[in-house]
Every structure is written in structure tokens, then in C-alpha cells.
Amino acid sequence: MYFLKRLALMLPLLLFISFLAFVLVRVAPGGPFDKEHRPASPEIQRNIEAKYHLDEPIWKQYLRYLADLANGDFGPSLKYRNHSVNDIIRQGLPVSLTLGFLAFCFAQGIGIPLGFFTAARRGKWGDYAGSFLAILFICVPGFVVGPLLIMTFAIHWHLFPAALWETPWHAVLPTIALGIYFAGKIARLMREGMIGTMHEGFITTARAKGLSENAILLRHAFRLAVLPVVSYSGPLLADLLTGSFVVENIFQIPGIGVFLVNSSLNRDYTMVVGLVLLYAALLLIMNLLVDVSYSLLDRRVQY
């Protein structure tokens, strides 16, 4: 019931977000045509603005935008005027989705085992080494990792291509650059969760029953300890799937992360609102999934 309510709330929430994004970008000073190469004469400027209805009151612009949106049309891009926002999303989204999902899997695949391992080996060498690794990961941003990976593996050793997005080989370096930071975050959340959980009463009970340490760790502690990771994974996935400016920029990958930043800088509002809506819808769904899995993993949590 609670989740149905949340689901029903999503549409008005998305409407509200689109409104907020629209107003945010439209009300802020500066228009999409301010940075054109040749300053247009006032008449031309007025004509362009009239063509895209920028001369109308904002509420009218917004309603017009919504009407188009209802037909699945995100409108024309005001900066890349040969393309519609739909075109750009259609081309860029699959790339960003693939890269983001790969990075997500990479982060979870490294982070969860690393966090689990360090918690299980608590206070021993494995813990120190693993925890150091996890800390190192969150301290070495994609910003640094990307260029370093390119310098060593692409330019120096010629093992992987340095940029672009063609063969699966092209995905290796960007995936690492994008995912490694989050792998460290997940490992730390996982370790923290495990260590907290090991003090719970039901773990003592499990021990008293004579269960093996492995069974306790894997079947009893893990379920509760993974909650912070689950909670973190929702926004993380939404974030990763909608592209990363830094990684796409460094590796010259044609995703939508680059467009989001550029269109906000250019006040290309149809593009901003379109991409924001995409991100918001993804995020709301992810958060809902997180809360659903919360109540599945920990029955004490009630909504």
C-alpha cells in the first residue's frame, strides 16, 4: 500500500521537478542565444526568440513544453539546433547507460567483497591491507585515475585504446576510472555495516546455536550489514547511468553526461529539463526500489 502510494506520487513529483528545473533555468539571467559567435542584430535575436517562443510569459512556455512532453517530445535543442533533444538522448543514453552499468557492477563487484573480507578479517593483516585499499580508492578520483590510466595503459604500454567508444576494449579504462571511487565507498559502508551487525543479539544467538562462523557472516550478518550499501546504491545507480561529465570528457565518450553540463552552462533549457527529468525519473524509481528491498531485507523496518 505504502509503495503504491509512493508510485502514485511519482508523477506529480516529476511534474514538480520539471517545473522547478524549467523555472530555475528560465528565470536565471542569461539566455540560450547569448553566447552565439556573432552578436545578432536585435531583430534577428527577436525573431529567433519568437521562433522558440522565448518571448512569451514563462507559464505559457512551460505549458507549451508540457504539451509537447505529453506527446513524448522533449522539444528542440536550442544550442545544437539541428538536433532535437530526443535525438541527442537516443544517441547518448545507450552509451551512458552501458558505461554507467559497467561501472556500477565494477564498484559493487569490488566493493562488497572487499568490505566483507576486511570485516571478517578484522584486526588482521588482511583487514589493514584491504581497508587501506578501500580508503585509497575513495581518495583517488576519476579525475586523477583517468589521465593516469591513459598515460600508463594507453600511451605508454599501448594496452588499451586511450579514448572513444567503439570496441569492448574501449570500455575498460573508463569503467575503472568511473567505478573505482564508488568501489571504495561501498567497501567502507559494507565493512562498517558488518562490524555494527556483529554486535547484534541475533548474532550471539546464532553463535550459541553453534553455527559456523562462515554461516553467521554470510547468512545472518550479511543481510543486515548490506543495508547501508543498498541504501547508497539507489542514488549511485541513477547517478552513474545518466553519465559522468569528467569521464566522458576525458575519454571522449559520446554520452549524455557532457550534454547535461554544457546545456546548463548554455541555458539550453529544453535540453536541461529533458535530461533532468530523465535523471529524476531514474532516481525516484531507484529510491523506491531501495525502500522495497529495505523492508525485504530487514522486516523490522515498517513504513
Partner 1 sequence: MEATESVPSPLISSSRPHLSPNQRAWQRFKRNRPAMISVWFLLVLLTLIFLWPLLSPYRPDTLSDAQFQVPSLQHWCGTDVHGRDLLARLMSGARISLLVGAVGAGVSLIIGVAWGAIAGYVGGRLDDAMMRVVDVLYSLPSIVFVIVLITTLEDLVKRIVPKGFLTDTGLSVRLVLLFVGLGAISWLTMARIVRGQVLSLRTRNFVDASRALGASHARILWHHILPNIYGIIIVYLTLTVPAVMLYESFLSYLGLGIQPPMASWGSLIAEGAGELNPIRIYWWLIVFPGAALVTALLALNFIGDGLRDAFDPRSAV
Applying CB under 8 A, among 7, 8, 15, 16 the residue interacting with partner 1 is 16
Q: 123-162 mask for partner 1 (x: CB under 8 A)? A: x---x---x---xx-xxxx-xx-xxx-xx---xx-----x
Q: Which is nearer to partner 1, 102 or 239 (CB)?
A: 239
Q: How far apart are the first and last CA of the chain?
A: 10
Task: Report which of 186, 184, 182 is spatially closest to residue 247, judged by C-alpha positions.
Answer: 182
Length of the chain: 303
- The interface with partner 1 within residues 65-124 (CB under 8 A) comprises 120, 122-123
Q: Cα dihedral sign for 181, 186, 189, 194?
A: negative
115 and 134 Cβ atoms separated by less than 8 Å:
yes
Q: Which is nearer to partner 1, 183 or 198 (CB)?
A: 198
Spatial separation of the C-alpha atoms in residues 146 and 135, rounded to whole Å: 18
- The interface with partner 1 within residues 188-207 (CB under 8 A) comprises 188, 192, 195-196, 198-199
Q: Which is nearer to partner 1, 55 or 213 (CB)?
A: 213
Per CB under 8 A, 299 contacts partner 1:
no
- The interface with partner 1 within residues 204-223 (CB under 8 A) comprises 213, 216-217
CB of 276 to partner 1, least distance (A): 6
Which region, judged by CB under 8 A, interacts with partner 1, from 12-20, 85-93, 106-114, 172-180? 12-20
Spatial separation of the C-alpha atoms in residues 232 and 255, rounded to whole Å: 24
Per CB under 8 A, 58 contacts partner 1:
no
Spatial separation of the C-alpha atoms in residues 52 and 270, rounded to whole Å: 10
Spatial separation of the C-alpha atoms in residues 197 and 190, rounded to whole Å: 10
Per CB under 8 A, 28 contacts partner 1:
yes
Q: Which is nearer to partner 1, 138 or 292 (CB)?
A: 138
The amino acid sitting at 257 is: G
> Is residue 213 packed enough to be buried (19+ CB in 10 Å), middle (13-18) or exposed (0-12)?
exposed
75 and 68 Cβ atoms separated by less than 8 Å:
yes
83 and 268 Cβ atoms separated by less than 8 Å:
no
Instruction: Give the residues lining the site for partner 1 (CB under 8 A).
Output: 9, 13, 16-17, 20-21, 24-25, 28-30, 120, 122-123, 127, 131, 135-136, 138-141, 143-144, 146-148, 150-151, 155-156, 162, 185, 188, 192, 195-196, 198-199, 213, 216-217, 227-228, 231-232, 235, 242, 245-246, 250, 260-261, 264-265, 272, 275-276, 279-280, 283-284, 287, 294, 298, 300-302
